[in-house]
Amino acid sequence: LAKTTQPISMDSYEGQEVNITCSHNNIATNDYITWYQQFPSQGPRFIIQGYKTKVTNEVASLFIPADRKSSTLSLPRVSLSDTAVYYCLVGYSGNTPLVFGKGTRLSVIA
Amino acid sequence: DTGVSQDPRHKITKRGQNVTFRCDPISEHNRLYWYRQTLGQGPEFLTYFQNEAQLEKSRLLSDRFSAERPKGSFSTLEIQRTEQGDSAMYLCASSHNSGFSYEQYFGPGTRLTVT
């Protein structure tokens, strides 16, 4: 699976939009980009998945440029409850084990 | 609650003892995964099953670790002769056999402390 690089930590104030960028220079043609969220003492939770351009759901948006060597997870108007670790994963099939990096620890401040 | 469940949620054991964890996946999911997570790190893959067949084991899974999924339903992960280095959160996840989704559903985990 393609190696990913993302910031170790980020801070944000409540109500702001947060953008977390992930680099994946070696992404393969068939690879999808997926983001998971993990709260303390809980298992990770799927947030969003995309292949190219833009994907939006009720939780977040995922922006993927044409070369697909990076992606940006956008969280609109964060609240304290969005404080969590966010993982970027790149791979082809949902039926293979996930490979997590260290993720980005987002702290939302009141 | 129809999510993935794990039991127990916490386990404290003395070094050298055996422990067994249980995972109940979402009922219609045929894939079941075990991961281990230590503090400050992302989850690391241990092993996974499709139905009752164990398809892959990580190099992290030493011979002290064994996993089963009888009848393709719940799964157990046993650690024999526990060591302090086994202290971690053990996570179970399940997924449906769909080719283009990376969505795995995780349980709350079992936190193991080896003293």
Q: Supply the DSSP string of B43-96, one letter for each residue.
A: -EEEEEEETTEEEEE-TT--TTEEEE-GGGS-EEEEESS--GGG-EEEEEEEE-
- Cα–Cα distance measured from residue B3 to residue B93, given in angstroms and rounded to the nearest whole number: 10
Q: Sorting pLDDT into bands at 50, 70 and 90, what band is B98?
A: low
**Considering CB atoms only, which of B43, B92, B107 is closest to A100?**
B43
What b/e string do you get for B79-88 counting C-beta neighbours within 10 Å, with b at 16 or more? beebeeebbb
What residues of chain A have any CB closer than 8 angstroms to a CB in chain B?
32, 34, 41-46, 49, 85, 87, 89, 91, 93-95, 97-103
Q: Sorting pLDDT into bands at 50, 70 and 90, what band is B103?
A: confident
Residue A96 has pLDDT above 80, yes or no: no
The SS3 assignment for A81 reads helix
Residue A45 has pLDDT above 60, yes or no: yes
Please answer yes or no on whether B43 and A103 come within 8 Å at the CB atom. Answer: no
- pLDDT over 70 percentage in chain B: 94
Q: Are A22 and A4 in contact (CB under 8 A)?
A: yes
Residue B96: what residue type?
A: H
The reported pLDDT for the residue numbered B72 is 86
The SS3 assignment for A47 reads strand
Average pLDDT, chain A: 92
In the predicted model, what is the mean pLDDT of residues B77-84? Answer: 97
**Residue written as tokens 């790149």?**
A90
Question: What are the angstrom distances between the C-alpha of B61 and each of A84, A100, B41, B78, B89?
Answer: 28, 17, 17, 11, 15
